Structure 1
């Protein structure tokens, strides 16, 4: 993840870079981010945080994160992407009940009476939910007291323009400019 921080105070730039990295790692979103641009203008005050994701978040279904095999009336599920293990297990419990889902190992399950085709299509993650989580993490990086925020989301780029004062059109224009530049970066 490449992080570009511009601002008037060198120490603040380094501190925000570290804070950004730490928070994105803490919420498990660092692996989704290709690059980030943080514009810090505390004297205005204006803060623009923009991230370009490796891929646009999409809805994930069980078959995106697990291999399934039908054996008679039962379905065996082998979770291949451990990030989604809790969601897969919760989805199976919800649809079949805990008594019908046997967990042999951490990532291997048997669903008694489970239909492979139905299980493979259970949604375990929403693309919109992933974007909301990233926006929430960006808000956590923002300084305390920031009240006015303007969010932009377009494909795989998310940008937040924030200020303590009234949001002036030129602030939003600067945010749009950063947002566009993040879309154009190769």
Structure 2
């Protein structure tokens, strides 16, 4: 992916998707998961952001993998098998509003995983999400208000994981179940 520029609350940032990258732990600002269940993508309605992918910040002493498992359970009430997809580099080098005392590094990373849901638990809304839903992957941009071009590449990577494992992508598996 070539870098794309976004405006996050007046901050001009350059984002770049890097497939299969696991950055140094201290440069990771958040961890997220594209979760799939029977060919559908799971989204959660986060109280402060609207429809989004489960994810969040790593807690002190927590590994990146433990963070994604915890965040997905807290926000979506699911468990599953996960696969690293890569990371988005979040670059503030051209951001005149970036402050060295910011909790975020000048160049940081958001790590993304694919999770294949093995257990869909009763939804309790006990943390920061009010509901969850399963949608067709191609509908994600319609629900996710912060959808940007880079997410298309992450979605392609997430759908490609299933293809590497089974020889079929989620949409092909879904269509086969429907007899199409």
Give the TM bin, normalised by the shorter chain. under 0.3
Q: Could you say which structure has the higher strand fraction?
A: 2
**How high is the TM-score relative to the length of structure 2?**
0.23
TM-score (norm 1): 0.22
The structure having more radius of gyration, on CA atoms, is 1
